[in-house]
Amino acid sequence: MSSRSLSVIRSVLPPAVFGVAFIAAWELVVKGFNLKPYFLAPPSKIWQKFTENIDLIWGAAKVSGTNALIGLLLGAFLGMVMSFALSRFKFLNNLITPLAIALNAVPIFVLVAVLNNMFAITSEVPRRIMVTLVVYFIVLVNVAKGLTQVIPTHVEMMKSYAASDTQILCKVRIPNAVPYLFTALKISAPASVITAFVSEYFGGSQNGLGSRITSNIANSKNAVAWAYVLGACLLGLSFYMVSSLLEGVATPGGRAKRTREDR
Amino acid sequence: MSAIEITNISQAFNLGMSNQVDALTDINLSIASGEFVSLIGPSGCGKSTLLRLIANLLVPTSGAIVVNGKSAKQARLDQDYGMAFQQSGLFEWRTVAKNIELPLELKGWDKTRRQARATEMLELVKLSDFANHFPWQLSGGMQQRVAIARALAVHPSLLLMDEPFGALDEMTREHMQSELLSICRASGTTVVFVTHSIPEAVYLSNRVVVMSPRPGRVAEIVDVSIEGERNDATRDNAVFFQRITAVREALRGVEMSDHVRGIEDR
């Protein structure tokens, strides 16, 4: 067996064993103490409901996933545009950055309640705006950092070669910002899914995973609610994995590794 | 013709403010074409500042710098310079070959011409097998050789180096010094070299400029003039040791007027 596959087993096996043991313990506790289904459903029941309702869950996941994806793309785009403006104009940076950091610290997604008032009750727009806002600030702060925190030697060297500001931007600042962008996307991808779910708690159409979870709990269909939670987990996980894969493609070799070591 | 003519240069930071620092006062220095000159002195003597003034990365408070018969700024815009720093300053997102091609890209060369020159430079620093490696896959000494190859890629008439071997171990360092000398001999490049090490300065240079701090000024210029080609045997040469002593004594003179720190005396 090659050392590579051995190291893969070494990194995958412990969490896999722990996960299986955890689910088994859950099942045993529910069965052993004879817990009522409205208190805690056993994993076997949740899995059964998941397979029974797979079409409904998939439909709801498409609604939430579309909201998350549109918000993610739009927020990432706007965040990048703004970060270029910030790195170009110092005063704008001094103005916006503290605000962006402060806004990152407060749960701005409650704004969705206000946004719901502004659009039709069945509109998906408020949820998408909400995801856009959350992603926008994450991307803005990180990419702006990547564009400005370049190694001074690099800039000095470019200047000694009589490079223009545009050349320094294209050949130093933008390549330097690429790993920062992918770090931001890796944080934003799960955050966009979470924001899409939470936005559904504030009313509007009952068509996404978040609203299905609440409505099933309200109807005491505990196991079905858990099945939707499982669907939500899988959706968030798939967003994260895609962003992680993209990072590997866009930053070849040990580039990402190197950047992490530097931090 | 002299490659660099420095006349009455003074450099002050925070001019006119309460925290004004006089980094350099009244520097006069003339460096001949093809000459190798080292700047040595304790921390804070302004040797790096002087290098950056020659490179036109800083503009002097007063005085004039003429490079190849034109202003330092014009020389920079004409890309007469190659620079190398203590940190190799390689771009980790570019391969070794692409790093060397960078100054040529800025000059607007087409791809075939760039690749040909990069191949030529890699042969010069004996790294042809590593063209497609990334910098972090190379050792510190190899990275520094790539940085030197990049600095030399435009065939600059002037090479400005700020402690380029400072982060290397002693063995690699001596090896790099010999390589640098043979490269410069082959290309006829004028070199201004900032260092902390007395033996390094003596081994490499035609002249060693000893500087003193607060305010930075030229304390003494030691003419090395060792006969013949420099090689590893030079390091055991009696004249070599005499010159090291001369530089050391010049630095002691500096020490009497101010406390010397950061000089490697090995």
- Which of chain B's residues have a Cβ under 8 Å away from the Cβ of A150? none
pLDDT of amino acid A260: 38
Measure the CA–CA gap between B133 and B155, rounded to whole angstroms: 23
CB A139 within 8 A of CB A75: yes
β-bridge pairing B36-40 and B190-195 = parallel
- A167 → closest Cβ in B56, B93, B106: B106
Measure the CA–CA gap between A135 and A116, rounded to whole angstroms: 19
Report CB contact under 8 Å: B55, A158. Answer: no
- Which of chain A's residues have a Cβ under 8 Å away from the Cβ of B55? 160
What average pLDDT values come out for chain A (263 residues) when binned by 10 residues?
A: 76 89 92 83 89 89 92 94 85 78 73 81 86 90 89 86 86 89 91 89 81 83 88 92 86 50 38
Residues 198-227 of B with CB under 8 A from A: none
From A180's Cα to the closest Cα of chain B, the distance in A is 13
Residue A86, Cβ density class (10 Å: 0-12 exposed, 13-18 middle, ≥19 buried)? buried
Residues 6 or more apart in contact with residue B110 via CB below 8 angstroms: none
CB B9 within 8 A of CB B27: yes
Report CB contact under 8 Å: A175, B91. Answer: yes
- Give CA separation, A247 vs A148, A174, A186, B66, in Å: 21, 15, 8, 49
Tens digit of pLDDT for each residue in A25-63? 999 998 888 888 778 888 888 999 899 888 898 988 899
- Asked if the model's pLDDT at residue B63 lies above 90, the reply is no
pLDDT of amino acid B152: 83
The candidate with the shortest Cα–Cα distance to B251, out of B218, B206, B205, is: B218
- Percent of chain B beyond pLDDT 90? 4
- Which of chain A's residues have a Cβ under 8 Å away from the Cβ of B72? none
ipTM: 0.76
Phi/psi class of residue A76: alpha, beta or left (left: φ > 0; alpha: ψ in -120 to 50)?
Answer: alpha
pTM confidence score: 0.77
The candidate with the shortest Cα–Cα distance to A252, out of A184, A181, A178, is: A178
CB B58 within 8 A of CB A156: no
| Length of chain A counted residue by residue | 263
Tens digit of pLDDT for each residue in B238-252? 777 888 888 888 888
- Which of chain A's residues have a Cβ under 8 Å away from the Cβ of B79? 161-162
Measure the CA–CA gap between B227 and A175, rounded to whole angstroms: 48
Measure the CA–CA gap between A206 and A122, rounded to whole angstroms: 9
Residues 6 or more apart in contact with residue A179 via CB below 8 angstroms: A146, A247, A251, A255, A256, A259
Question: DSSP string of A150-171?
Answer: --HHHHHHHHHTT--HHHHIII
pLDDT of amino acid B256: 56
**Which homologous superfamily does the CATH classification assign to the domain defined by B1-80+157-166+189-266?**
P-loop containing nucleotide triphosphate hydrolases (3.40.50.300)
The domain spans of chain B are 1-80+157-166+189-266, 86-155
Measure the CA–CA gap between A159 and A168, rounded to whole angstroms: 8
The candidate with the shortest Cα–Cα distance to A195, out of A101, A108, A102, is: A108
